[in-house]
Amino acid sequence: MNKSKRPFTKSKRSFRRRLPPIQSGDRIDYRNMSLISRFISEQGKILTRRVNRVTLKQQRLITIAIKQARILSLLPFLNNQKQFER
């Protein structure tokens, strides 16, 4: 029996590694609205770390920055404007 052919091996799938959402040069700050707005859902909620694909430290900084921006009324606490399509 020829051992070089293995019938039950997994095929190697190539996958593209996703780029991290926060580059090393980006400052996580309440004034950086273009960065912060990427981590908020359409309802105005802070997205989870699993969805954001960020580290725990980055998620904490994002959360603090979003909360500061909300207090300074740069961001809304809620975005519940329902769009009626008729």
Give residue 74's Cα distance to chain centre: 20
Q: Residue 40: beta bridge partners?
A: 46
pLDDT of residue 52 exceeding 60, the answer is: yes
> How many angstroms separate the Cα of 66 from the Cα of each of 6, 9, 18, 21?
53, 47, 24, 16
Contact 19, 52 (CB under 8 A): no
Residue 72: phi, psi to the nearest 5? -85, 10
By the 8 A CB rule, do 72 and 66 touch?
A: no
pTM: 0.71
- pLDDT for residue 85: 56
Least confident span in 33-37, 73-77, 82-86: 82-86
